[in-house]
Structure 1
Amino acid sequence: MPSESGPTGVPRRTLLSGAAGLVAGASACSSPKRKSGSGGSGSPSPGGTALPRATRWRPSTSDVQPDVKLRAAQLVEALGTWRPGGAGAARARERTAALGLPAALAEQAGSLLAAADESVTQAIDAQYGGILADTASVLVVCRQWTRTAGGPVRPGGTTVDVRLSRARPRWTVTALHPAAPGPAAASLPGEARRVLGDHGIGLAPAAEADVRGGGVHTSVLTALLRLAGDYRMEVTVLRSGHPLDVFGTDRPSDHPPGRAVDVWRIDGKAVVDPATPRTLIESFMRDAAAAGSYNVGGPLPLTGGATANQFFSDDTHHDHVHIGFDK
């Protein structure tokens, strides 16, 4: 199967540079939440009537091109957040234009424009789906809470593949591809049910929906359960919301067929944070390989894999660990 490593010539990273630790804004809005319906810091209880107060997402200073991620997250937050009177496509176009972006992008917002009187959207993480010299894919993982006519708060969320291109004075957004996980399956294998019930595996909303839909390969589910025996993990992406091809190539990604998982936080520590021990990330990457992954990517260029390309590192994977399977 094709490797998830990027195009030939993309520089490999050995250490993350920049200030130690995530900036305060990113830390505040990235608190772990196990399942899309669960609570957490700043989250309302299901069925309550008070919408949460969202914290604007901020990138780490250790990010590759942090403004690219910020641009993507700002658009997703703006599209998915409105006060009474702000619902509908026309107002979404106004919010998009206020960011200096093409108003027509609002027409690609998908489920972010829920039918509700009020909405609050909180970015959990912004992960690269790909970063090249002049183009990028940023996977903005978010939770969303909506309310209609003073009724109960309804929790939800999605992942949006935000495509950008280099422009002056800032990168611009060219397209939005919201996740479309599909309906829940009538029945699930035991591995899927165990993943959904394992408190050591935190699933973003679209990732949880992927598991409930039954389309995640058993090899991925089994590896997650094995890793959960030693680590607490926060998953950004499984199937939906990821580019169909390895970014910048015509090679199919392992994500859409349900044969890959991306992890952005291990034992409560963000992969992108330079304060996260490199030994923790290396241990996790090697244990992922031992769990059967043929293709483990992350911020560390490890050696000693069972095959020449079992481990890889590039700018795209400086902020998460990719774990892929060939069957």
Structure 2
Amino acid sequence: MAAQYGGLQGGRASVLVAYRQWVRRPNGTIKAGGSAFDVRLEEGPGGWEVTALHPARPGRAKREPGDLAQRVLAHDRIHLPPAAAADVRAGTLRPYPMRVLLALADDYEIDVSIVHTGHPRNVFGTTRLSDHTRMRAFDVWAVNGRRVIDAGTPGRLIDGFLRRAVAAGAYNVGGPRQLSGGSYFSDRVHRDHLHIAFNRDD
């Protein structure tokens, strides 16, 4: 399971939870599955309380996902939770982000958390459409097996990954530290994951 902020503003928050589950059928066989939720919380007198749950609703898988999608799904250095994998199968990630994801996997092992579904439609607390909704972004919670949020994860590993993403074409990249350059940003929401977004589809 991976959990990350989807937004934080005042006494309101969005926490995105991507998970795997295994269900034992009556005949004893095990069915693997999972999904993602956008969990909304508000801070009250007694602490934080869950106010809403928004489940991921991936589109139907394409009969033929296409070469790029198949390569992303089959890559042994790209780890996709069930909802993110379903997004790729449904074609809800544009070609260019998939190309960059594959290029990054040449140098890094990548644990993706969120692609499209399971993320707030708008940038939290605004009316601006999210790049996840535009199918032009993916979030990463671990690089080379090291979690972004862990204090012991080398800064040079995360910084190098972000710079490599920008060099490959990402236009809006967020993480736990502010890097120099107009493509980078950092805030409280991105202490626990990396946001890799694009402004082109091809």
Is structure 2 residue 93 aligned with structure 1 residue 220? no
Query: Cα distance, 1:189 vs. partner?
Result: 2.4
- Find the aligned partners of 2:120 and 2:65 in 1 and give their Cα distance: 25
Deviation at 1:170, TM superposition (A): 2.0
1:181 aligns with 2:54: no
1:316 counterpart = 2:189: yes
User: Which residue in 2 is equivalent to 1:169?
Assistant: 46
Q: Find the aligned partners of 2:135 and 2:66 in 1 and give their Cα distance.
A: 14
Output the TM-score relative to the length of structure 2. 0.96
Q: Do residues 297 (structure 1) and 170 (structure 2) align?
A: no
**Distance in 2 between residues matched to 1:134 and 1:170, nearest whole Å:** 10
After the TM superposition, which of the residue ranges 171-180 and 186-195 deviates more from structure 2? 186-195
Determine if the alignment matches structure 1 residue 242 to structure 2 residue 123.
no
Specify the SS of the correspondent of 2:71.
helix
Tell me which structure has the larger Cα radius of gyration: 1
CA distance in 1, matches of 2:71, 2:26: 37
Q: Distance in 2 between matches of 1:149 and 1:158?
A: 22
Question: Equivalents in 2 of 1:203, 1:238: separation in Å?
Answer: 9
CA distance in 2, matches of 1:256, 1:156: 23
Q: TM-score, normalised by structure 1?
A: 0.60
Give the corresponding residue for 1:272.
Answer: 149
Cα separation, 1, equivalents of 2:164 and 2:142: 15
Structure 2 segments unaligned to the other structure (5+ residues) = none
Which residue does the alignment assign to 1:142? 19
Please give the secondary structure, in 2, of the residue aligned with 1:145.
Answer: strand
Q: Stretches of 4+ moved more than 3 A in 1?
A: none
2:165 to 275, 288, 303: 288
Identity of aligned residues (%): 50
Aligned-residue RMSD, C-alpha = 0.9
Deviations 1:259-305 (A, max 9, x none): 000000000000000100000010001001011000000001000x3
Ranges in structure 1 where 5+ consecutive residues have no aligned partner: 1-123
Q: Which amino acid letter does the alignment assign opposite residue 81 of structure 2? A: A
